[in-house]
Amino acid sequence: MPRLFAAALFAAAALCAASGVRAQERLDLSTLDTVGELTYVLGFDAAKNVQQDSASFAYFTYDTFASGFQDGAAGDSSRLAYMYGYEIGSRVGSDTTLSMSPDLFLASFREGLAFPASQLDDAQKRSVMNQVQDMLFMNVLRERAQDEPEAQQKLAQIEAGAREADSLLTAAAQRPGAEVRASGLVVIPGTEGTGPEATMTDRVLVRYTGTLADGTEFDASGEEPAQFALRGVVPGFGEGVSGMKAGGTRTLVIPPSLAYGLQGTNGGPIGPNKALTFEVELVEIVAPTPAPGLE
């Protein structure tokens, strides 16, 4: 977000909070589809970006910003706050691929100003983003499949992968002690381990083996444990290792949307829309490296 734009929105946030926005109730996300959840994520995060910027404008009002936003979404055609609201509204209103609701975006923005944390955690946000990307990809693929044999073949592979993934995840969910996360990840606990729990901000040493639904091994750590930043691996792996303790083991059954998605690893061992199984042992949570001069 450009600094001038973020600065203007920050002032809107301050004035909005002062006029009673903090009294509003949370949005009900249970009625939203995937596009609605995306709209919520974008609106809420936009407000948080505003609040993180320290600049402000003295005569910038939220109501004027909101007016510009709604006109921009409607395509109508000058005040500073109005211009920034109009710019965002134009982007949302001109979206014909996902049909995001301008009203929902603005309500999510207001919630972001009024509440400190989103109703969706990082893993849920990533899942929403992946689902939307997959939705857009499928829209294009289905259109191409009307005329192109290559696209028809790809579509058939994706549909077969979906059936295979559903079967694998359903079976995993029925195993003793299995936990089905809101994201769709299935976690089957093994050894508890000891010490602090790993978090998504940690680097970890792990031993692991990854297999496809038919048992084919596509990756493994080998004799020596592998070191990862949990934010740098596929979302399902990071979410599944988060919460483990050193010496602990888990089986992670990861849906395609939290792995390599509809396209898989192009030219690699993981085909389109594949669910993955990982047997994981957390060896160690790696201590952060001190900054130079702070050892």
101-146: pLDDT as tens digits: 878 888 888 888 788 899 988 778 877 887 888 888 888 899 999 9
Residue tagged 């994981």 (tokens):
280
DSSP letters spanning 8-65: HHHHHHHHHHHTTGGGPPPP-GGG--HHHHHHHHHHHHHHHHHHH-----TT--HHHH
Q: What is the per-residue pLDDT for 288?
A: 73
Q: What is the per-residue pLDDT for 22?
A: 47
Highest-confidence segment of 4-8, 79-83, 178-182: 178-182
Choose between 16 and 225: higher pLDDT: 225
Q: Is 189 helix (H, G, I), strand (E, B) or coil?
A: strand
Domain positions in the chain are 3-120, 124-286
Choose between 44 and 74: higher pLDDT: 44
pLDDT band at 42, cuts 50/70/90? confident
Mean confidence (pLDDT) of the chain: 81
CA gap 124, 130 in Å, rounded? 10
Q: Which residues contact 95 (CB under 8 A, 6 or more apart)?
A: none
Q: What is the per-residue pLDDT for 100?
A: 77
Residue 192 confidence (pLDDT) above 60: yes
Q: Which residues contact 20 (CB under 8 A, 6 or more apart)?
A: none
Residue 221 confidence (pLDDT) above 70: yes
Residue 155 confidence (pLDDT) above 80: yes
Residue 8 confidence (pLDDT) above 90: no
DSSP letters spanning 80-148: HHHHHHHHHHHHHHT--SS---HHHHHHHHHHHHH-SS-SS-HHHHHHHHHHHHHHHHHHHHHHHHTT-
The tokens for 200 are 């998504």
Average pLDDT over residues 186-204: 96
Q: What is the per-residue pLDDT for 188?
A: 98
Choose between 135 and 167: higher pLDDT: 167
Q: What is the per-residue pLDDT for 13?
A: 46
Pairing of strands 245-246, 179-180: unpaired
Q: Distances from the Cα of 48 to the Cαs of 4, 23, 70, 266, in angstroms?
A: 16, 17, 20, 36
46-65: pLDDT as tens digits: 778 767 754 543 444 566 66
Could you say which of 3.40.50.9100, 3.90.1150.10, 3.10.50.40, 3.40.50.300 is the CATH number of the domain covering 124-286? 3.10.50.40
Q: Give how far the C-alpha of residue 253 lies from the chain's centroid of Cα atoms, to the nearest Å.
A: 18
Average pLDDT over residues 165-194: 96
φ, ψ of residue 71 to 5 degrees: the values are -65, -40
255-275: pLDDT as tens digits: 998 999 898 998 889 999 999
Q: pTM of the predicted model, to two decimals?
A: 0.68
Residue 292 confidence (pLDDT) above 60: no
